[in-house]
Amino acid sequence: MKVQLLPSLYAISSLLVTSASLAKVAYTWVDKEGVVHFSDTPNQGAKAISLPNLESTSPAPRVESTKSLTPQAKTTPVPQADDKPKADKPLALSLAMLIPQHDETIRSNQGIINIQLEANRKLGIGEQLQLFLDGKPYGAPQRRLTWQLNNIDRGTHTLAVQAKRSGKLIASTSPITVHLHRASIKPTSKGAK
């Protein structure tokens, strides 16, 4: 059985080689009606045409060197589209007071002052904001960018906010001054007419 198998394999492989070599040649001719024909088998009066080799392979992918660079050959890595920024060091925090504006006059008989900050990024883990009213901490540190101060005495006040991470100051707003106006009620005397 091995004897019959070897000649069969030889015949199949030679047939494949022959058909591959035939595929590189085409034949063309023009019939009586002027129609141009193309074929892979020769006909009477046909001209042979050599075809380009279409069995080419795709180019090998480029691979960057994985060898470590010598100090003289250091290059700056080119960022790729799928590169993500490192989460090791957060972007420096920047704060600005949106409400109220510096030197603004606030009229509130209940002594309410609303404060709103703007930050360039979300607060990270362990980062908190402390509001300062007239240079003293007001309330507990928080992560929200808004405050509502209630029953504040009339007069001029300074407001500022500091951001801290693990107890260390990382950002602050510029202090602003606001003027709170509250209506005052004068006591009336019973004897006056």
Confirm whether 33 is domain-assigned: yes
Question: Of 100, 93, 110, 91, which is closest to residue 160 (Cα–Cα)?
Answer: 100
Q: Say if CB 139 and CB 165 are below 8 A apart.
A: no
The whole-number pLDDT of residue 74 equals: 53
DSSP3 helix / strand / coil % (the chain, rounded to 5): 10, 35, 50
Torsion angle defined by CA atoms of residues 40, 42, 44 and 49, in that order, rounded to the nearest 10 degrees: 70
The CATH code of the domain that includes 130 is 2.60.40.10
**Rounded Cα distance, 154 and 113, in Å:** 11
User: Average pLDDT for residues 181-185, to the nearest whole number?
Assistant: 80
Residue % of the chain over a pLDDT of 90: 32
Residue with more model confidence, 154 or 79: 154
Confirm whether 35 is domain-assigned: yes
Residues 106 and 165 placed together within one structural domain of the fold:
yes
Domain tally, the chain: 2
* Residue whose entry in the numeric block shows the structure tokens 């007071």: 97
Confirm whether 150 is domain-assigned: yes
Residues 102 and 174 placed together within one structural domain of the fold:
yes
* pTM reported for the whole predicted model: 0.50
Range of the domain at 43: 24-50
Bridge-based pairing state of the strands 95-99 and 47-50 = unpaired
Write the pLDDT tens digit of every residue in 13-72: 454 445 444 457 888 888 888 888 878 888 888 888 877 666 666 666 666 655 555 555
Confirm whether 128 is domain-assigned: yes
Q: Say if CB 141 and CB 164 are below 8 A apart.
A: yes
Confirm whether 146 is domain-assigned: yes
The whole-number pLDDT of residue 15 equals: 47
